[in-house]
Amino acid sequence: MGNKEEAQNWLWAEDKEEEEEAREWLWAEDYSDLSYAPAVGSKRRARTKRVLEFQGWGSKQLIEFLESIGRDTSTQISRYDVAEILEQYIQVNNLQHPKKKKKRVVCDERLHSLFGKKTLSRIQIYDMLEAHYAENREEWDTDFFSSSDEEQQRKSLVPEKKSYQKRKIEEGSPKSCFASVIPENIKLVYLKKTLVQKLLKEPDTFEAKLVGSFVRIKSDPLDHYQKNSHMLVQVQGLKKTSGTDDILLQVSNFIRDVRISMLSDDDFSEEECKDLHQRVKDELLKRPTVVELEEKARILHEDVTKHWLEAESALLQRRIDQANEKGWRKELYEYLEKKQLLETPAEQSRLLDEIPEVVADDLELEPSPSEPSDNLQEANNGSLTSKPQGPLDWLQ
């Protein structure tokens, strides 16, 4: 136990020393140009928003960068592959920080145009690329590029299960029998493409698990009212194509049947969930009840949890390999610790034994017919009297 604490203290002291050196170097570089210098008495440079323009699947900045180094952008390049391309570009052009080669990058003109920074932490590159993909643009605030390196590095150290902030529910407010169409509820019955492909191997239970769940597909490009690149749809039925064993999904609010290969393998955005809520509100989709959603969530809970555990473990292993290769000792320790925790039977049992809870929608109360409305009360207080107070009032 003593050795572990000693090692942690040593790593902390070393990282603090490196952080101070990096700050001194950044201060000297950032303000070498007087146009970037802060006003007298200010402690930091003013933050400016950076707006991204999109060309097809990626931002204009990302597309221009890839094309400038001879990459074909006619089809989408995955974020993981782009991160690898950037690592190669940094190595070839010798853009490593002169003192912290393993941790920081000095941006040349191309990288500055892409990220809007003079320097950046190498561990941030993969996470910063997310904002450059059109399918993610609704989830990001463009202020991401002007936030501090320390804050972004803390966010990118350990990947966590995608979670959505809980809505505050007023205590004592009456609840409806219908489920609220919010991310917390939809994620309980949301299936990614790789999970659907896995469920397909069990034909006896495939239909029962899939029908009633939600999947994510690309929006119809001819639908000018659809502002999101993808949309959430509910699986309403299955059918086989004639002469083959291919299974097509019949989904809500979509004219054509959907192949499994057309499904998305990414998380849905909050804007896509708001779009789903609007379709339910417009009665274009049946409003789900709490009982129906809870029943479907319990059927899918084990499959969804096991799929997340596998994906999270694989992601952590990639980051472990990257940290090991780059010599990021502190990050390597944190990734290993989190991966070991997820692989323990106790933690897996805890996650699998959790009972899915569905948030009910608030009940919309209607005014009681026995109580006068505000308009009627105003009329009674006005010049016109709608009802006499007694038999003698007619004589007054």
* Chain segment 225-245, per-residue pLDDT in tens: 778 889 999 999 998 877 667
Topology annotation, domain 18-31+47-156: MDM2 (1.10.245)
Evaluate whether 211 touches 235 at the Cβ level (below 8 Å).
yes
* Token pair in block for residue 152: 């972004």
User: In whole angstroms, what is the distance from residue 386 CA to residue 369 CA?
Assistant: 17
pLDDT of 156 strictly over 50: no
Residue 170: name the closest of 394, 304, 361 by CA: 361
How many percent of the chain have pLDDT more than 70? 68
Q: What is the CB-side half-sphere exposure of residue 243 using CA atoms within 13 A?
A: 0
For 56-192, where are the alpha helices, taking DSSP H only?
Answer: 60-68, 79-92, 109-115, 125-128, 149-156, 183-186
Domain ranges of the chain: 18-31+47-156, 175-362
CB-count exposure of residue 328 (10 Å: 0-12, 13-18, 19+) = buried
Instruction: Select 175-362's CATH number: 1.10.260.40, 3.90.70.200, 3.30.70.1070, 3.40.190.10.
Output: 3.90.70.200
**How large is the angle between the packed helices 329-342 and 290-326, nearest 10 degrees?**
140
Distance separating alpha carbons of residues 301 and 351, to the nearest angstrom: 10
Q: What residues form DSSP beta bridges with 54?
A: 59
Q: Let me know: does 45 contact 30? Beta carbons within 8 Å.
A: yes
Q: What is the pLDDT of residues 160-198, one digit of tens each?
A: 444 444 444 444 567 788 999 999 999 999 999 999 999
More confident call, 59 vs 363: 59
